[in-house]
Amino acid sequence: MEKKKLNHLAIILDGNGRWAQARNLPRFKGHYEGGKRVKEIAIAASLKGIKRMSVYAFSTENWKRPTSEIDYIFKLPRLFLDMYLSDLMKYQIKIECIGDISQVSSNAKKAINDCIEKTKNNTGMVLCFALNYGSYQEIINATRNIASLVKEDKLNIEDITKETFEEYLMDSTPVDLLIRTSGEQRISNFLLWQIAYSEIYFTNVMWPDFNEEELDKAIANYYQRDRRFGGIKNEK
Q: Catalytic positions, please?
A: 14, 62
Nearer to ligand FPP, 136 or 223 (CB): 136
Report in angstroms how near the CB of residue 181 gets to ligand FPP at its nearest. 9
- Shortest separation between residue 160's beta carbon and ligand FPP, angstroms: 34
Q: How far is the CB of 21 from ligand FPP (least distance, A)?
A: 7
Cβ at position 158, least distance to ligand FPP in Å: 41
**Cβ–Cβ contacts within 10 Å for residue 153, how many?**
7
Q: Which is nearer to ligand FPP, 49 or 183 (CB)?
A: 183
Binding interface with ligand FPP (CB under 6 A): 13-18, 31, 34-35, 38, 57-58, 62, 73, 76-77, 80, 129, 182
Q: Estimate the crossing angle of helix 76-90 against helix 27-47, to 10 degrees.
A: 20
User: Do 178 and 201 meet the contact criterion of CB atoms below 8 Å apart?
Assistant: yes
Nearer CB in complex with ligand FPP: 35/124: 35
What distances in angstroms separate CA 138 from CA 82, 98, 107, 190, 228, one per listed residue? 30, 9, 24, 10, 27
> How many Å is the Cα radius of gyration of the chain?
18
User: CB-side exposure of 56: number of CA atoms within 13 Å?
Assistant: 25
E strands, the chain, where?
8-12, 52-59, 94-98, 126-133, 177-180, 199-202
Closer Cβ to ligand FPP, 81 or 219, answer by number:
81
- Helices and strands, counts by H and E, the chain: 8, 6
Rounded to whole angstroms, the Cα distance separating 15 from 29 reads: 12
Residue number with CB closer to ligand FPP (142 or 171): 171
C-beta of residue 12 within 8 angstroms of C-beta of residue 180 = yes
With H, G, I as helix, E, B as strand and everything else as coil, classify residue 87. Answer: helix
- Least distance from ligand FPP to the Cβ atom of residue 8, Å: 18
* Closest residue to ligand FPP, based on beta-carbon distance: 17
